[in-house]
Amino acid sequence: MPELIIYASLLGILATAMLDLWAIFARQILHLPGPNWAMLGRWLGHFARRQFTHGNISSAPRITGEQIIGWSAHYLIGTVFALLLLLFTGPDWLDSPTVLPALVVGLSTILAPFLIMQPAMGAGIAASKTPRPNIARLSGVAAHSVFGLGLYSAAAMLSLFR
């Protein structure tokens, strides 16, 4: 099991970094809004105050360290999803990874923001309360697809060393 956690950590960190590179590209080249991980940190920081939902997270009081909390949670969540991939496929998948399981897991991760995070932060289910919900949805699906491809790419790279 420790080996599985190490591989999940490597996959999660590399795939999340690929997602972050995509976000930079999407913001600078495609002029799409990017994620603000401080808002994730703010939302999580309010859990200690037993506040789990907000009308608008950007209007909620700031939390000390929200930026680092948000970025850390972003990478931790990526690692948890990578662990789920390995539990779903089995560790042998790492010896000869295929794209489909990674893409399925990557795309399924869109459910977390659409059904949990966005509604709890005041953006509605699947960004329904945002100014341009369809842009937010397409951007999210694209980003989570990139995450899935990142899981596959990282596994393909790591398979060279197994």
Q: What is the pLDDT of residue 32?
A: 85
Tell how far CA 58 is from the center of its chain. 19
**Per-residue pLDDT tens for 31-49?**
888 899 999 999 999 999 9
Judge whether 75 and 12 are in contact, CB under 8 Å. Answer: yes
**pLDDT over 80 at 162, yes or no:** no
In this predicted structure, what is the pLDDT of residue 103? 97
Give the pLDDT score at 88: 95
pLDDT given for residue 33 in this prediction:
82
Give pLDDT, residue 161.
86
pLDDT value of position 36: 94
149 Cβ contact list (under 8 Å, min separation 6)? 18, 99, 102, 103, 106
Q: Are 146 and 108 in contact (CB under 8 A)?
A: no
Report pTM.
Answer: 0.92
Give the pLDDT confidence score for residue 23 in this predicted structure: 96
Paired tokens of 61 = 């009081």
The per-residue pLDDT for range 61-111, each reduced to its tens digit, is 999 999 999 999 999 999 999 999 999 999 899 999 999 999 999 999 999
Report the distance separating Cα 46 and Cα 11, nearest Å: 29
Residue 86 CA to residue 79 CA, distance in Å, equals 11
Tokens representing 91 are 């560790």
